[in-house]
Amino acid sequence: MNNIPSIGTPQNRLEGHLKVTGSAKYAGDYNADDLLYGYVVNSTVTKGKIKSINTEEAKKLEGVVEVFTHDNRPSTAWFDLQYADMDAPPGLVFKPLKDNEIRYNGQPIALVVADTFEMARLAAKKLHIEYEEETFETDLTANLKKSRDPKKGLASLLKPPPPPPKGDFEKAYKNSFIKTDSTFSHGTEHHNPMELFASTVIYEGKGKLKIYDKTQGTINSQMYVANVFGLKMKNVQIISPFVGGGFGSGLRPQHQLFMAVMASLQLKRNVRVTLDRAQMYMIGHRPPTLQHTKFGADENGKVNAIFHEATGETSRFEDYVEIVVNWANMLYPAEHTLLEHKIVPLDVYSPLDMRAPGGSTGMHAIEVTMDEIAYQLNIDPVELRLINYSEIDHTSEKEYSSKELRECYLRGASQFGWDERNPVPRSMKRGNKLVGYGMATGMWDANRLLGRAEAIMSTDGKVEVKSAVTDIGTGTFTVMTQIAADELGLPLEDVTFSYADSAMPFAPIQGGSFTTATVGPAVQAACQALNKKLYKKAKSLKDSVLGDTKLKEVIFQGGYIIHKDNPEIRISYKEIMEANDGKDIRTTNSAMPNPLTYGKKARAVHSAVFVEVEVDEQLGVIEVTRALTAVAAGKIINPKTAESQLLGGMIWGISKALHEETILDHRLGKYMNDDLAEYHIPVHADIHDLQVLFIEENDQFVNDLGVKGVGEIGGVGMPPAITNAVYHATGKRIYDLPIHFDKLL
C-alpha cells in the first residue's frame, strides 16, 4: 500500500525493453495497405535555375506512379509565412518545389513516387535535369564584409539579442593590467541522429491525415501541415512515440513531411518518404562561427572589461541566429562590456538549432579566454573563476533563482584530483604521452513554457496521463510517469503516461532543455486536480469516512486517501470509483510561468567540467582519458536518465572538440563528407572514464517541482575544458575546433 516516492530515485526507462529488443516502432516502421514510397531528388548545383526536368524515362519504369516537380506540384495554401513552425527564425520559410530557382546545393527539386522504395530511387536516377548556373557564395570567412545585424522577430523571445554596451570598454581595456586578444573558429557540424528522417502518411479521406513523423514536436508538425496545405487542425494527427535521436534536427518540420503529405493528398494514397543519410546533410546544421574576444583584468584576476564578437552564417531567406556572446557577463561581472553578434547570408540552407545552440559555441571562446588570463597571472583556473564569482546575472541585474556553481567548482575539483596538477605547461608526462589538466564552466538557460496535460482515473483506480510531448530519447516518458505517480500516490505500474500524439493536450517542441520544466508542472497540476475531484467524490459518498475532513488534512498515498493525523481514517481509490456509476474521473490542466513574477529572477543551469588528456609527444594524437562534470540543475527527478543525458552531452563535447566537422568545398558549394564514414564521430575506443556529480540545488522559483533541464548543459563546458587541457599538456594554445593533431606537431 505505501508506495515509495519515485522522484529522486534512479528508474530504468519504461520503454527500454521495447527499444533494445527492436520492438519500438519509429516513423518509417508503420506499414499500411497499398503504401507508396517517395524518393526525394536533390539539386546538384548550388545556385541558379532549373531550365527543364525531363521525367519521361522515369515514368516509363514499371511501378512508378508519379513524379512531382515545380511544374506539376499541387497548389497549397502557402503564403509568405514568416513563422510556419515553432522554431522558425525571422525570414521567409523555404517552400519545396515552389519554383525553378535553386537556392542551395542539395535543394529538393523533385519527388518520385513508386510502389517500392527501390523503384522510386532507381527512377530518380533517370530524371534528366538541365540547369542555368549562377555564381554563388558559401565561404563565411571570405564574406565577412557582408555581415550585418540579424533581423529581430518573434524568435528573439527565446533567443534574445546581445545586451547593449555597458560602461566604456575601450578605455577600461586599455588601462587593464592583463589584456587578452584572441580569435576562435569552429566548422560546420551536422546532427546525424541514428534514425533517418521519415514520414508515413495514412490517407483517411475527406482531408483527414494520420501521420507518423520523426519530429521533436507533434503539434508543431500538425500546425505546419495544416497551415501549408489548408487543412483543419483537427483533421491532421501527428504521432511520434519513438524518436531515434533528434539533437535539434527534428525541431523544424523537414522536407520529407511536406513531400509525403503533398503526394498523399494529390494521389489519395498512403505515402512514405524517407531521407537517406546524405540527404540529412541538407536539412540544417550548426553554423560555422568566427569569434573574437578581448578581456581585461586587474592584477588580482578580477575581469573588468569584456569584448565578445561572433559572426555566423545564415541562408539568404532566413536570419538564423544563436545566443553566442551573451554568456560572459551572465557569469563574470564586468563593469565594461561590448557584445556583438552578426550574420552573413550565404547560398546555404538555413542553419538549425543543434544541442546547446550558441552556448557550446560561445562558452568555448569565453572559457579559453579565462584560461589565458589565469596563466598570464599565474592564478589557478578554478581560483580565477571564484574571484569572478557572482550571484547576480549582470546582463539583467537580477539575482539567480539558485546557483550552486561555487560548490560545483569545489567538489568537482576535489573529486577529480585537481590539486595533483603541476600548473606549468608541458610539465606532466606518462611514458611518451604529455598529460594535461583543463577545466571550464558550463552554463545554459533554465526556461519553461506553457504545457497542458490530462489525467484520467478509470474504474479500477489506475490512472492514464496524456500530453502531446515527444520523448526524443531523453527519458521524458519515464520521468513524467514518476511525477504523476508521486502526485497521485500510486506505484509506477498503476500509472500510464500516453504521449507524442498531437490529438493530446498541448506541449511545445522538445528542445532547449525546457521539457521537464514545462510538461512536468502540467502533469503535476492535472494530477493535483484529479486528486481534488477524487476527494470531492469521496466526501459526497453516503456516510463518508472522511466526514468533515478538509483537503489539507489528507494525503494521497498507496491508492488511498488517508487522514494525516489518523491513518485509520482512509478510503481506497477503487472504492471511490466503484461508487461513480462506472464513469471515469478526468481533468485537463495547464501550467505556465507566472507572468507577474517569472521575470524577477535570472534562471540558469551551471556546471564545472574537469578534463585530463594525453597527447602523444611524437604524433600529436589527443585522447581524453578522463573527465568529470559537476552539475547544479535543481531537483533531479531521475538520476539515472539525467546522468545518461549528461554523459551523452560530455561525449558530444569530446566529439565537438576533437572530431566533428563537415567540409564544404567552396568551389562546388557542396558538403563533401556527407556520410558516417567521413564525418568523424567518437567510437567506443575514444571514450574512457566519464563521471557525473550532481550538486543539490533547492529552487522553488523555476517551477513547483524545482526542476531545471540537463539535456544541453553536459556538452557546453567540455570543448573549452579539453582545449585548456591540451594547452596545459603541450604549451600550445589552439583556437580552432575541432583540434587537428597536425597543429600540435
Per residue in 425-445, pLDDT tens?
Answer: 999 999 999 999 999 999 999
CATH fold, domain 449-592, is Aldehyde Oxidoreductase; domain 4 (3.30.365)
pLDDT tens digits, residue range 124-147?
999 999 999 999 999 999 999 999
How far apart are the C-alpha atoms of 673 and 418, rounded to whole Å? 39
User: What are the structural domain ranges in the chain?
Assistant: 31-135+197-245+250-275, 145-189+285-447+600-744, 449-592
**pLDDT on residue 151:** 85
Cα 20 to Cα 14, 29, 64, 641: the distances in Å are 12, 16, 36, 16
**pLDDT on residue 80:** 64
Query: In terms of C-beta density within 10 A (0-12 exposed, 13-18 middle, 19 or more buried), how is residue 179 classed?
Result: middle
**pLDDT on residue 156:** 72
Rounded to the nearest 5 percent, the helix, strand and coil shares of the chain are 30, 25, 45
Burial 373-382 (b: 16+ CB within 10 A, else e): bbbebebbbb
**pLDDT on residue 79:** 63
Is residue 518 within 8 Å of residue 451, measured between CB atoms?
yes
**pLDDT on residue 152:** 79
Is residue 545 within 8 Å of residue 570, measured between CB atoms?
yes
Is residue 479 within 8 Å of residue 520, measured between CB atoms?
yes
| Sites in the chain below the pLDDT cut of 70 | 1-3, 79-81
Is residue 519 within 8 Å of residue 480, measured between CB atoms?
yes
**pLDDT on residue 259:** 98
Phi then psi dihedrals of residue 42, to 5 deg: -115, 150
Is residue 295 within 8 Å of residue 180, measured between CB atoms?
yes
SS (H, E, C) 428-483: EEECCEEEEEEEEEEEEECCCCCEEEEEEECCCCCEEEEECCCCCCCCHHHHHHHH
Query: In terms of C-beta density within 10 A (0-12 exposed, 13-18 middle, 19 or more buried), how is residue 56 classed?
Result: exposed
**pLDDT on residue 325:** 98
**pLDDT on residue 478:** 98
How far apart are the C-alpha atoms of 318 and 168, rounded to whole Å? 34
CATH fold, domain 145-189+285-447+600-744, is Aldehyde Oxidoreductase; domain 4 (3.30.365)
**pLDDT on residue 675:** 96
How far apart are the C-alpha atoms of 119 and 123, rounded to whole Å? 6
How far apart are the C-alpha atoms of 678 and 659, rounded to whole Å? 11
Please give the CATH architecture assigned to the domain spanning 31-135+197-245+250-275.
Alpha-Beta Complex (3.90)
Per CATH, 145-189+285-447+600-744 and 449-592 having the same topology is answered yes
**pLDDT on residue 562:** 97
**pLDDT on residue 540:** 94
Is residue 525 within 8 Å of residue 593, measured between CB atoms?
no
